[in-house]
Structure 1
Amino acid sequence: MSDPMRPRASLRTAVVWEVLKDALEHRAKATGREQLDVLDTGGGSGKFAVPVARLGHRVTVVDPSPNALFALERRAAEAGVDDRIQGVQGDAHGLFDVVERGGYDAVLCHGVLEYMDEPAEGLRNVVGALRPSGVLSLLAAGLGGAVLARALAGHFTEAHQALTDPQGRWGAGDPVPRRFTVEQLTALVETAGVRVEAVHGVRVFADLVPGVLVDTEPGALDGLLQLEAAAAELPAFQSVATQLHVLGEQQSRTGAGNGADDGR
């Protein structure tokens, strides 16, 4: 089967997909179960849910948009994995109104945290859906990438504003409510009860390279993918990444009453 994250349109998510795929494989081996229960919060039309289901796992997508869930249903059917994907309407703050607490081997929270009114509270809910030692995949907007992008576009005042604003916003027209540094994001994750296993810078170069170059220059796509992968774990490049990815493992909650990892 071809890699679903390989096409040009999915270049920006290639690093996250490779890390997530390896983490799910490791989790499956640790539990002795080939089929995991995965929750994708804010999963939209299934950019990650469908590839995860193709690996053989059961995926529940929670998203507030009915249109996104309709697109998810269609996409899952076209991929032949509709029997392994369930879409439900909801959000992180009311998560346990629609899904089971402590019922998932892995939770994806991609592109959601920066839109939460209370990121710490929302992340605690997301982590609460994990089984003991479950995997958290968190992807959020990075501060450094926004500052660099505004500066390279010649918007120096906006770049300075983003750099000094508590929420990392470059102005009133900024569509992203908040951005994070590596330190801020890992602190949120650890406070929520998750041990940080790895941090990756995402879209370090992809947003800066002209699309026409990647589309027309022989070997450019492969070269850019390799460059992104090589830079992803280096702190110097994480500090200027458009997005930051944190992979973590939920720390055991003694007496939490959410079930042992019993291979269900």
Structure 2
Amino acid sequence: MSDPLRPRASLRTAVVWEVLKDALERRAKAAVPEGSGLDVLDTGGGTGNFAVPVAELGHRVTVVDPSPDALFALERRAAEAGVTDRVRGVQGDAGGLLDVVESGAYDVVLCHGVLEYLDDPAGGVRNVVRALRPSGTLSLLAAGRNGAVLARAIAGHFGEARRGLTDPDGRWGEGDPLPRRFTAEELTALVGEAGLEVASVHGVRVFADLVPGVLVDTEPGAVEALRELELAAAELPAFHSIATQLHVLAHRG
């Protein structure tokens, strides 16, 4: 089974993967009949970093992504993992999501790294929520505003860090690759306004992007120790404000 928790990659995906696996397990136990697998929608799922491991758990995954190249790579990845029959790629985006997938057809929807690029994040959240079944679950992952400020300051770019503090979209300058970032409060408000109940908020990559790579690569056991630290800090609200990314798990009904 492929695993998004590979060395180094694990530091960026560990928290989200652990929360998602637990949510999928709980939803699967409530499925009728039990063990029949869930219908999962991965918006902006790209090459299948999460979609393929989710399919390997026995679920049916539809990936919506605007990039034909990403969908081709997804197809190849699914074939290598032996889950072609459980992974389907569809070209499209969150803005026109319901033009390419059925409304109210999915037990779980993943919306990871999508809101940052939408002109209307609130509209994007409403679209993914409409794709959920009445008791569905949303996994929402987006870039954290304050984490970027901290990273720019530690790198010595103090002017950029200050701009990130005051910019309405959390951007630190013209060279910033992201159109916008969010606080935990902004994300939970978007989810609540779309009619979902927030179950949990986790900070993602609280330390991983700040620790020098050479330390992680050369110290024995450093990757696993840092991964465990990330998992321990993720649930603590005090660390949400400095996380590079924020993960919100929410339920409908």
TM-score, structure 2 normalization = 0.97
Q: 1:10: which partner in 2? A: 10
CA shift digits 1:62-84 (9 cap, x unpaired): 00000000000000000111110
Does the CA contact (< 8 Å) of 1:206 and 1:224 recur in 2?
yes
Q: 2:147: which partner in 1? A: 145
Matches within 5 A, 1:69-148: 69-148=71-150
CA shift digits 1:212-238 (9 cap, x unpaired): 211111111111011000000111111
Q: Please, which runs of 5 or more residues in structure 2 have no aligned partner?
A: none
Counterpart of 2:6, as a letter, is: R
How far apart, CA to CA, are the structure 1 residues paired with 2:84 and 2:213?
33
- Which residue among 186, 189, 196 is the counterpart of 1:187? 189
How far apart, CA to CA, are the structure 2 residues paired with 1:174 and 1:164?
14
Does the CA contact (< 8 Å) of 1:6 and 1:14 recur in 2?
no
Alignment length, in residue pairs? Answer: 251
Identity of aligned residues (%): 78
TM-score, structure 1 normalization = 0.93
Q: 1:27: which partner in 2? A: 27
CA shift digits 1:122-161 (9 cap, x unpaired): 1100010000111100000001110000000111111010
How far apart, CA to CA, are the structure 1 residues paired with 2:7 and 2:103?
35
CA shift digits 1:230-249 (9 cap, x unpaired): 00011111100000000000
How far apart, CA to CA, are the structure 1 residues paired with 2:204 and 2:97?
27
Task: Say yes or no: does 1:54 pair with 2:66.
Answer: no
Does the CA contact (< 8 Å) of 1:158 and 1:170 recur in 2?
yes
Q: 2:203: which partner in 1? A: 201
Does the CA contact (< 8 Å) of 2:40 and 2:108 recur in 1?
yes
Matched residue SS, 1:151:
helix
CA shift digits 1:19-54 (9 cap, x unpaired): 000000000112243200000000000000000000
Q: Please, which runs of 5 or more residues in structure 1 have no aligned partner?
A: 252-264
Matches within 5 A, 1:171-250: 171-250=173-252
How far apart, CA to CA, are the structure 2 residues paired with 1:10 and 1:47?
11
How far apart, CA to CA, are the structure 1 residues paired with 2:197 and 2:208?
29
- Measured after TM superposition, the shift of residue 7 of structure 1 is 2.9
Matched residue SS, 1:5:
coil
How far apart, CA to CA, are the structure 2 residues paired with 1:227 and 1:213?
15
- Measured after TM superposition, the shift of residue 9 of structure 1 is 2.5
- More off after superposition, 216-225 vs 8-17: 8-17
Alignment RMSD, CA only? Answer: 1.1
- Measured after TM superposition, the shift of residue 250 of structure 1 is 1.2
Matched residue SS, 1:146:
helix
- Measured after TM superposition, the shift of residue 6 of structure 1 is 3.4
- Measured after TM superposition, the shift of residue 3 of structure 1 is 4.3
Matches within 5 A, 1:153-168: 153-168=155-170
CA shift digits 1:82-113 (9 cap, x unpaired): 11000000001111111110000000000001
Matched residue SS, 2:16:
helix
How far apart, CA to CA, are the structure 2 residues paired with 1:67 and 1:201?
30
Does the CA contact (< 8 Å) of 2:149 and 2:165 recur in 1?
yes
How far apart, CA to CA, are the structure 2 residues paired with 1:194 and 1:237?
24
Q: 2:47: which partner in 1? A: 45
Counterpart of 1:47, as a letter, is: N
